[in-house]
Amino acid sequence: MSHLRIRKSNTKDGYLMPGLSYGASQVVVAHDQVFVLGQTGLTLDNKGFVGEGNPSKQAETAMQNVKMLLEESGASINDICKIIPYTTKHSYRDEVYPVIAKYLEGVNPVSTGIVVKSLAKPYLDFEIDVWAVIPEKLGSNHTRLSLANANNGYLMPDLKFQNSRVIKANDQIFLQGQTGLSLNGREFIGVGNPALQTEKAMNNIVELLDEVDSTLEDICKITVYITDISYRSQVYPVIAKYLRDIAPVSTGVVVKGLAREELDVEIDVFACSTSGEKHQRYFKSKPNYLPEVDFPLSKVVKAGKSIFLQGQTGLSLETGRLIGKGDPKLQSEVAMQNVKSLLESVDSNINDICKVITYVKDQDTRDIVYPVIAKHLDGVYPASTGLVVESLASEELDFEIDVFAVES
């Protein structure tokens, strides 16, 4: 059965990129999983924008959109498992989080907060990504553990917003982005020491997975956010110590900031518990641009019906070498060809793609790479989020795309 794609639209008819023909859905339902297009102050008809210069108004519109889209998909706001709020300034967090908290009171999602260089347009100050899961049994609730309220903690002590640290929803496991922060949310370990922060984050991940009767072996994908590209050489050897035998897919991004200035690294984890079935992990190789680190990473992981891809760039799948140095268009072409090949390697295809997240280093590059993405995803209509970040795994990379797919 094909996925349900709700509120399909084309950028050529909208507000953000009217010169581009790129089809996207506001929400995609794939079996029990619900993927939402990154929501901003943009109205759902894609023809208006609310709150220019006012992050809290943008957040209000975004959260209203999220609520409406989930209801249209047969889910509800109570089915939300994970959110990633993106802001373009650290100070905007104090404006947008009270709005998020108002809408998600009692929901207790896991959360990762990222400060990026820019969003799809310079006037966007806020965007939120949402993952939801429809419970297998009508009226049942997801398992939400290690609840903590921000106003009792280290990161945002003036905010009343309760989060879970880990959620198990059917066979999906979502973790709060892990840092050097203790699980009680009150102590921070490793100021000025990215390796020590990573050590604490990985210890937290082990503990949280154990709380839902899971292990590191259930991890499918990690996204590693750091605030300086030089931290990669300190952070990845620590992650490797824990995940060397797991071989998850990985995406590494250098961002403008995390929840507080002293946070240097944050690790997002997507895991699946598939009733004793071992996940299928293909095309293992060492981390790009870190050949000295003994850490095999997969390029694609299939867990049940969920398919996770390594963030794809202009690096050749065959040689690991960059194709298109200084040419973002060629890099995006290689990346999209890689996506197609990797999906086909697990008997899937591009029509199973539910969500894409694109990373570029400047606004101008968006105009170069999106026509390439649009060409390859013509007729697919994924939910989409576009971010402008500080850097990728290497300064020579201009483009990266994350793909979340579910077998039809």
Residue 139 above 70 pLDDT? no
Q: What percent of the chain has pLDDT over 70?
A: 98
Give the range among 5-14, 124-133, 193-202, 362-371 with minimum mean pLDDT: 5-14
What residues does each domain of the chain span?
32-159, 172-303, 306-408
Given 3-state DSSP classes, what are the helix, strand and coil percentages for the chain, each rounded to the nearest 5?
A: 25, 30, 40
Predicted pLDDT of residue 277: 77
Per-residue pLDDT, 229: 98
Computed over every residue of the chain, the mean pLDDT equals 94
Asked if CATH classification 3.30.420.40 holds for the domain at 306-408, the reply, yes or no, is: no
User: If pLDDT is split at 50, 70 and 90, which confidence band does 47 have?
Assistant: confident
Q: Say yes or no to pLDDT of 12 above 90.
A: no
17-34 pLDDT per residue, tens:
777 888 999 999 999 999
Residues 326-343 have pLDDT tens digits of 999 999 999 999 999 999
Tokens for 275, please give them. 């009733």
Q: Is residue 158 a contact partner of residue 93, using CB atoms and an 8 Å limit?
A: no
Amino acid at 84: I
Note whether 32-159 and 172-303 share their fold: yes
C-alpha 310/C-alpha 282 separation (Å) is 11
Average pLDDT over residues 342-354: 98
State yes or no: pLDDT of 14 exceeds 80.
no
- The answer as to CATH 3.30.1330.40 being correct for domain 172-303 is yes
Please give the model's pTM, rounded to 2 decimal places.
Answer: 0.96
What b/e sequence results for 109-131 when a residue is b if at least 16 CB atoms lie within 10 Å of its CB, and e otherwise? bbbbbbbbbbbbbeebbbbbbbb
Report pLDDT for 2. Answer: 85
Q: Look-up: residue for tokens 């060397």?
A: 244
Helix (H, G, I), strand (E, B) or coil at 111: strand
What average pLDDT score do residues 55-74 get? 98
Phi, psi dihedral angles at 322 (to 5 degrees) = -75, 130
CA quadruple 181, 186, 190, 191: dihedral sign: positive
Q: Residues 65, 383: contact at Cβ < 8 Å?
A: no
Please determine, for residue 138, whether its predicted confidence score (pLDDT) is greater than 70.
no
Question: What is the per-residue pLDDT across 374-407, written as a single tens digit (0 to 9) for each?
Answer: 999 999 999 999 999 999 999 999 999 999 999 9
pLDDT tens digits, 245-303 = 999 999 999 999 999 999 999 999 999 997 767 899 999 998 989 989 999 999 999 99
pLDDT at 11 over 90: no
Give me the CATH code for the 32-159 domain, please: 3.30.1330.40
